[in-house]
């Protein structure tokens, strides 16, 4: 029997803090990809582990610092327990109390600090310990409430962390080379790569949504994805919220469908039959491609790369749709993907649309670059951004802003400073070699497969090796050359 207090009745003056954050998925993926790449490049073992603290919220004592007044709880009279019907003073944390997470988090951080682990300035739920004489030897831990996932290239750090946590909390749950952690399945391959997936959850989700019978689809959406609804028949918002809630949860392991996830999430307030039909098409695609539901990290360098793209005037109101993804290593899977309608401005041309997403993507990438540097992965090279619009590249690298670009908001010209100080460099790629194209528009099946595999790290074929082989009818009747 577990006693759970009714935290909703806990008075506000009985605690100081409720805050207890969890590590961001992008931080977790970036750390995993960086340690994997370093292990592959140096041919050294990668020590991968996970942990869970049993009874975590029952561990921390109440003090004047975290509980300004004495707290009492009353046990229900109708339970088979010796305490039934009596009042008792709380001396430690309890499940259900408002500040349970914060109490545990404060104590856990103190334990990590005493073991030599300190938070990353870019994400305080990433903790790293360095060897005092060799900073290339380290151990990092990503914390998710009372769970943790860690990586190290120095086994003594792993063993000492395990011992320190056992000493503080008793025998904890510890797994070397875990196969599952906080909802993600973890696979390892003989080439040294590592993949995160959600195949079990996706299979369960499709069954619960009644989507296992849906017919085969080669693409997650059609060319009318951003078009105004044609069937305005209202549908239940509860149904669309359930569908999109599940799909949003799996988006980290299906970055190639990011535009569908993010755009359809905006259609939940007053959904129509057209919106539901688009969601069903997406479910059908996921049902047919469950085996692809993973992001694979297989690089051998720890530098940050970005692919970004924009689809000019893709929305009925004239706004463009932008997208980008960030990887550790040029051919590795996406640690972060983004796809959204441009809401701050209506671009007056494709160059302006590309310039806006270029600025957004580089700011995001530089944050990850700083985080990796603080975690012990020196960033000797600038962030490399792959862009397929030459006019956009020329503007970003030009010594002065021309009169043709004076209308662009100053916030987007920040990219020019990044290039000038050497923290960012831009490389031109052709559209047929731009995987981020899949994050901004619906593509034919062949390109969807090629770009989808590249974004998720499943394909190691250099995109620049593609050569024209056959014409494939693209979105809006345009013709693309590609290899199927």
Q: What is the DSSP string of 419-475?
A: HHTTSEEEEE--GGG-GGGGGTS---HHHHHHHHHHHTT---S-GGG----EEEE-G
239 shares its domain with 163: no
Residue 291 CA: distances (Å) to CA of 280, 312, 340: 19, 32, 26
**Measured between alpha carbons, how far is 475 from 356 in angstroms, rounded to an integer?**
23
Give the C-alpha distances (Å, rounded to integers) separating 22 from 145, 246, 251: 6, 20, 18
Same domain assignment for residues 378 and 450: yes
d(CA 128, CA 158): 11
β-strand partners of 43: none
Query: Of 157, 182, 207, which residue sits at a domain end?
Result: 182
Look at residue 193 and tell me if it is in a domain: no
Domain membership flag for residue 187: no
Beta strand pairing call for 334-341 and 321-328: antiparallel
Cα separation, 137 vs 135, whole angstroms? 5
Q: Is residue 296 part of a domain?
A: no
Q: Which residue has the tokens 């605690």?
A: 15
Examine the domain organization and report whether 272 and 321 are in the same domain: no
pLDDT at site 473: 35
Q: What is the CA radius of gyration of the chain?
A: 25
Q: Is residue 419 within 8 Å of 459, Cβ to Cβ?
A: no
Do 316 and 408 fall within a single domain?
yes
Around 95, how many Cα atoms within 13 Å sit in the side-chain half-sphere?
8
**Do you know the residue count of the chain?**
484
What is the CB neighbour count within 10 angstroms for residue 480?
18
Give yes or no for a contact between 95 and 3, defined as CB atoms under 8 angstroms apart.
yes
**295 in a structural domain:** no
Among 102, 99, 96, which residue's Cα sits nearest to residue 69?
99
Tally the domains of the chain.
3
Angle at 394 between CA 386 and CA 317, to 5 degrees: 75
Do residues 79 and 119 share a domain? yes
Listing DSSP states for 153-215 in one string gives S-HHHHHHHHHHHHHHHSS-EEEES-SEETTEEEEE-TTS-EEEE-HHHHHHHHHHTT-TTPP
Q: Please answer whether residues 220 and 282 qualify as being in contact, where contact means their C-beta atoms are separated by less than 8 angstroms.
A: yes
Burial (CB count <10 Å: 0-12, 13-18, 19+), residue 235: middle
Q: Do the bridges between strand 424-428 and strand 184-188 make them parallel or antiparallel, or are there none, so unpaired?
A: unpaired
Q: Is the residue at 367 inside a domain? A: yes
Give the angle 349-354-356 at the CA atoms, nearest 5°. Answer: 100
Strand 479-482 versus strand 470-473 pairing type: antiparallel
CB contact set of 399 (below 8 Å; sequence gap of 6+): none
Check whether residue 320 and residue 449 sit in a common domain: yes
Task: Give the residue from 290, 316, 336 where a domain finishes.
Answer: 290
222 part of a folded domain: yes
Answer yes or no: do 168 and 204 share one domain. no
Decide if 298 is inside a domain.
no
**Pair 20, 147 in one domain:** yes
Domain boundaries, position 127: 7-182
Digitized pLDDT (tens) for each residue of the chain, 484 residues in all: 566 777 777 777 777 676 677 889 999 999 999 999 999 999 999 999 999 999 888 888 888 777 888 888 888 888 888 888 999 888 887 777 878 888 888 899 999 999 999 999 999 999 999 999 999 999 999 999 899 999 999 999 999 999 999 999 999 999 999 999 888 999 999 999 999 999 999 999 999 999 999 999 999 999 999 999 999 999 999 999 999 999 999 999 999 899 999 999 999 989 999 999 999 999 999 999 998 899 999 989 999 999 999 998 888 888 889 999 999 987 788 999 988 876 566 555 788 888 888 888 999 999 999 999 999 999 999 999 999 999 888 888 776 555 555 555 455 567 888 888 899 999 999 999 999 999 999 999 999 999 999 999 987 554 444 434 333 334 333 333 333 2
DSSP bridge partners of 184: 181
Residue 252 near residue 262, CB atoms below 8 Å? no
In angstroms, the CA 6 to CA 72 distance is 12
Q: Are 332 and 340 in contact (CB under 8 A)?
A: no
Q: What is the DSSP letter of 255?
A: G
Verify that 66 and 89 share a domain, yes or no: yes
- Is position 1 within any domain? no
160 and 270 inside one domain: no
Which candidate, 319, 298, 383, places its Cα nearest to that of 41? 298
> Same structural domain for residues 276 and 142?
no
Rounded to the nearest 10°, the torsion over CA 210, 242, 200, 173 is -150
CATH number at residue 464: 3.30.420.10
Angle made by CA atoms 57, 61, 66, in degrees to the nearest 5: 95
Of 266, 290, 314, the one marking the end of a domain is 290
User: Domain check: are 372 and 464 in the same one?
Assistant: yes
Task: Name beta bridge partners: 327.
Answer: 305, 334
């Amino acid at each position: 029997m577990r006693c759970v207090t009714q935290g909703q009745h806990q008075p506000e003056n009985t605690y100081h803090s409720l805050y207890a954050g969890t590590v961001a998925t992008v931080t977790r993926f970036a750390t995993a990809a960086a340690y994997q790449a370093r292990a592959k490049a140096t041919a050294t073992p990668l020590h991968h582990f996970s942990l869970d603290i049993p009874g975590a919220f029952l561990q921390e004592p109440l003090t004047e610092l975290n509980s300004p007044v004495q707290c009492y709880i009353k046990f229900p009279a109708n339970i088979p327990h010796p305490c039934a019907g009596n009042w008792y003073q709380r001396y430690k944390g309890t499940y259900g109390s408002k500040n349970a997470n914060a109490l545990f988090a404060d104590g856990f951080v103190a334990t990590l600090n005493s073991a030599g682990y300190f938070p990353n300035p870019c994400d305080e739920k990433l903790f790293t310990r360095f060897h005092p004489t060799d900073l290339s030897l380290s151990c990092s831990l990503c914390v998710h409430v009372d769970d943790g996932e860690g990586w190290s290239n120095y086994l003594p750090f792993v063993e000492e962390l395990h011992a320190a946590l056992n000493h503080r909390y008793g025998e904890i749950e510890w797994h070397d080379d875990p196969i599952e952690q906080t909802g993600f399945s973890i696979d390892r391959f003989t080439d040294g790569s590592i993949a995160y997936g959600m195949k079990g959850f996706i299979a369960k989700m499709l069954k619960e949504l009644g989507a296992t019978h849906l017919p085969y689809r080669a693409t997650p959406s059609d060319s009318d994805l951003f078009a105004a609804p044609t069937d305005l028949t209202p549908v239940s918002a509860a149904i669309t919220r359930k569908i999109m809630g599940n799909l949003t949860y799996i988006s980290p392991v299906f970055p190639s469908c990011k535009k569908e996830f993010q755009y359809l999430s905006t259609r939940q307030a007053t959904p129509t039959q057209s919106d539901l039909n688009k969601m069903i098409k997406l479910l059908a695609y996921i049902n047919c491609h469950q085996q692809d539901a993973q992001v694979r990290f297989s690089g051998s360098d720890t530098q940050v790369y970005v692919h970004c793209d924009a689809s000019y005037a893709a929305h009925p109101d004239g706004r463009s749709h932008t997208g980008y993804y960030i990887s550790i290593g040029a051919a590795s899977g996406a640690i972060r993907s983004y796809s959204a309608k441009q809401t701050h401005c209506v671009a007056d041309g494709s160059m302006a649309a590309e310039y806006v997403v270029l600025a957004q993507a580089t700011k995001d990438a530089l944050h990850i670059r700083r985080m990796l540097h603080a975690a012990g992965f020196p960033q000797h090279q600038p962030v490399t951004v792959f862009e397929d619009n030459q006019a956009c590249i020329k503007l970003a690298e030009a010594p002065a802003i021309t009169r043709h670009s004076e209308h662009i908001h100053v916030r987007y010209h920040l990219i020019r400073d990044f290039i000038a100080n050497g923290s960012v460099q831009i490389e031109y790629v052709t559209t047929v070699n731009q995987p981020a194209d899949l994050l901004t528009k619906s593509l034919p099946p062949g390109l969807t497969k090629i770009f989808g595999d590249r974004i998720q790290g499943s394909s190691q074929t250099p995109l620049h090796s593609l050569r024209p082989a056959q014409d494939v009818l693209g979105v809006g009747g345009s013709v693309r050359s590609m290899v199927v």
